Homo-oligomer: A and B are copies of this chain.
Amino acid sequence: MNRFLSNATNRIDAKGRVSVPSAFRSVLSQRDIRELYCFQDFLFPAISVGGLDLLDRFERQIASEDVLSPQANRMSLLVHGGGVFMKLDSEGRLPVTDFIRDYTGITAEVTFVGRADHFQLWAPQTFLATQAAAREEFRTRGLGLG
């Protein structure tokens, strides 16, 4: 497996740590991702986690803009300034900081959700609800992306 797929829910311990699922850890080591970069999803209350290559798309766009461009400035503020580094401990756990809790509503448990080139942290019930809502959306409006 070389992509982040499926989901799993783990408990946060008394020290505020949570184990990253083994399957995700093996993808991380396979891609040689040692420093995790995390930032808020632009749409959902979830934290995206992956390597620094996640920034590439944004940085290409920023670099192509005028030095004084407010849009480029705002984007850099979010993706460069709004991200957080996380390191797994030797057991493969990551600390669940307020940065994560505040944006996701996570309290006692974390749902890890695969997103192919990265994975996300969700509050379990929010994940279920959002997934159901998305399914309902497709059911009524169809798959059209417009």
Name A residues whose Cβ lies closer than 8 Å to a Cβ of B: 1, 3-7, 23, 35, 37, 40-44, 57-59, 61, 65-78, 80-85, 113-116, 120, 127, 130-131, 134-135, 137-139, 143, 145-146
A76 contact set on B, CB distance < 8 A: 115-116
CB distance from A83 to the nearest CB of B (A): 5
Q: Which of B42, B72, B130, B135 contacts A138 (CB 8 A)?
A: B42
Smallest CB gap from A84: residue in B: B6
CA distance A146 to B66 in the complex (A): 10
Q: Which of B3, B41, B71, B135 contacts A40 (CB 8 A)?
A: B135
CA distance A43 to B42 in the complex (A): 22
Q: Which of B5, B66, B80 contacts A116 (CB 8 A)?
A: B80
Q: Which of B40, B42, B135 contacts A68 (CB 8 A)?
A: B42
Q: A61-B67, A145-B69 are in contact. Are A74 and B7 (CB under 8 A)?
A: no
Q: A35-B1, A143-B75 are in contact. Are A81 and B42 (CB under 8 A)?
A: no
CB distance from A60 to the nearest CB of B (A): 8
A37 contact set on B, CB distance < 8 A: 5
Smallest CB gap from A141: residue in B: B71
CA distance A128 to B68 in the complex (A): 22
A69 contact set on B, CB distance < 8 A: 145
Q: A80-B116, A81-B120, A114-B81 are in contact. Are A138 and B74 (CB under 8 A)?
A: yes
Contact at B44–A73, with CB atoms within 8 Å?
yes
